[in-house]
Amino acid sequence: MKALYLTMFVSLLLALVFLLFFIRSMKGGQFEDAYSPSVRMLFDDDEPVGKENKTVRSIKHNSKEEKNLKTK
């Protein structure tokens, strides 16, 4: 009988500890945005290493030409 009481006490204590951690994480904002992390990997905004974006290069090139025309 003592083992049963001890097991019940330990399980209730453990449940209370998990509940306190859950409430702490809820107040800390851990579960505010549950959607973004799941789709963040679908959006690839970074260019591969060693490759330059062609549109950026053309914009830089065009802006240099415009500066040259303005100075002439």
Reported pTM: 0.46
DSSP 3-state assignment of 51?
coil
Q: Residue 2: inside a domain, yes or no?
A: yes
Nearest CA to 11 among 19, 21, 22, 25?
19
- Asked if 64 and 58 count as a contact pair (C-beta separation under 8 A), the reply is no
Query: What is the extent of the structural domain holding 18?
Result: 1-28
Number of domains making up the chain: 1
Q: Residue 36: inside a domain, yes or no?
A: no
Q: Residue 66: inside a domain, yes or no?
A: no
pLDDT computed for residue 42 by the predictor: 79
pLDDT computed for residue 37 by the predictor: 73
Which residues 6+ apart lie within 8 Å of 47 measured at CB?
Answer: 53
Question: Can you give the pLDDT of all 72 residues of the chain as single tens digits?
Answer: 999 999 999 999 999 999 999 999 999 888 787 777 778 777 776 666 665 555 555 555 555 555 555 555
**Rounded-to-10 torsion of CA 47, 48, 52, 56:** -10
Q: Residue 8: inside a domain, yes or no?
A: yes
Q: Where are the beta strands (DSSP E) in 1-72?
A: none
